[in-house]
Amino acid sequence: MSEERSTRLLILGSGPAGATAAIYGARAALQPVVIQGLQPGGQLTITTEVENWPGDTSVLGPDLMARMEAQMRHLGVELVADVATAVDLRHRPFRVETDGGLVFRAEALVIATGATARWLGLPAEAKLRGRGVSACATCDGFFFRDRHVAVVGGGNSAVEEALFLTNFARQVTLIHRRDRLRADATNQRRLFAHPKIAVIWNAVVTDIEATPDGMGVAALHLADTRTGAFRRLPVDGVFVAIGHDPATGLFRGQLEMDAAGYIVTAPDSTATSVPGVFAAGDVKDRHFRQAVTAAGMGCMAALEAERFLAAQAQEPGREAA
């Protein structure tokens, strides 16, 4: 039989958005509970150096998330090493089941389950992630100053990554499997007009060649999608920009989402289509996907949850949760 528990504020996810929501929720005396998810600490735990977190010239992603976890524990946040497997948002308190057999009843819910980058699925890609292979130009572009980098993809994200990388790289090569881009016309004009950017059409990456010491990228192996011919492209880094998948499957049919599956929130807010449910971080943000913006949304979500619970407690005939 499942163990059932009640909480005023339940947070799903423990990356920068979930951690910040928990910190603010704890300071508001909401006694938040955090279900950490499959990857406690989120995507930053699998990155290397972070140089754009305010207050730190450079910090390792895992170290930054360890500090956030320590701060949550210091404030009395309960961290549950488990994964949410079922959610019922039809009635308050909301019902959340976990893989470990727990059932939570929550008066307010913050969804901070994040999104994951789509990868090429190559064995070398996983080995070299953080060592020349990245899915975030804003995060890692600085490390490739005066280098030759490649971007894989053909949509707006890929074109924007390529354009951003020109601020650092000596040369940027965009690799696309088709003979035309999916990006909008304005982005395409900017891309084709940029002197640092070259495009390789009708090509797929079949392998990523490591440097002799295994600590970096030496080249990409490409196959022509029309002829099957192979070529080797020497590069110092590769940015995979073929999209992200928000972790929103649990909420499909219960919350309003956009066509890509990102949770829709009210303007200048983290409030979702269900009162009392808030979404923060990459699960609702398809544009920026930065640790600092996720943390800011986590703060917003906790403050909005606090106000929501206070308003509920003041309704006539309703006792405080």
Is 285 catalytic? The answer is: no
The span from the CA of 63 to the CA of 131, in Å, is 18
Is 268 catalytic? The answer is: no
Model confidence at 319, in pLDDT bands (50, 70, 90)?
Answer: very low
Model confidence at 304, in pLDDT bands (50, 70, 90)?
Answer: very high
Would you say the pTM of this structure is higher than 0.75? Answer: yes
pLDDT at 228 exceeding the cut of 60: yes
pLDDT at 218 exceeding the cut of 50: yes
Instruction: Over range 190-217, report the average pLDDT.
Output: 98
**All residues at 6 or more sequence positions from 244 whose CB lies less than 8 Å from its CB, including other chains:** 115, 116, 117, 118, 282, 286, 289
Q: Which of 136, 207, 224, 245 is catalytic?
A: 136
In the block, which residue shows the tokens 């890609």? Answer: 125
Q: Which of 140, 236, 282, 285 is catalytic?
A: 140
3-state SS string over 140-165? HHHHHCCCEEEEECCCHHHHHHHHHH
Q: How far is CA 120 from CA 140, 147, 154, 267, in A?
A: 18, 22, 14, 34
pLDDT at 123 exceeding the cut of 60: yes
Q: Is the bond leading into 16 cis (omega within 30 degrees of zero)? A: no
The CATH number of 3-116+244-314 is which of 3.40.50.150, 3.30.2350.10, 3.50.50.60, 3.90.1300.10? 3.50.50.60
CATH code: domain 119-240 is 3.50.50.60
SS3 state at 316: coil
Share of the chain above pLDDT 70, in %: 97
Domains 3-116+244-314 and 119-240 share a fold: yes
For the segment 29-64, what is each residue's pLDDT rounded down to a tens digit?
Answer: 999 999 999 889 988 887 667 888 999 998 988 999
Is 136 catalytic? The answer is: yes
pLDDT at 320: 40
For the segment 250-299, what is each residue's pLDDT rounded down to a tens digit?
Answer: 999 999 999 999 999 999 999 999 999 999 999 999 888 889 999 999 99
pLDDT at 318: 56
Instruction: Over range 90-113, report the average pLDDT.
Output: 97
Domain ranges of the chain: 3-116+244-314, 119-240
pLDDT at 26 exceeding the cut of 70: yes
pLDDT at 58: 87
pLDDT at 317 exceeding the cut of 90: no
For residue 88, the tally of other CB atoms under 10 A from its CB is 12
pLDDT at 321: 39
Burial class (CB in 10 A: 0-12, 13-18, 19+), 76: exposed
pLDDT at 98: 97
Model confidence at 156, in pLDDT bands (50, 70, 90)?
Answer: confident
Half-sphere exposure of 284 (CA within 13 A, CB side): 31
Structure tokens at 84: 């949410």
Instruction: Over range 199-208, report the average pLDDT.
Output: 98
Model confidence at 175, in pLDDT bands (50, 70, 90)?
Answer: very high
The span from the CA of 195 to the CA of 205, in Å, is 24
pLDDT at 43: 82
> Among 95-109, 185-199, 244-258, 305-319, which is the least confidently predicted range?
305-319
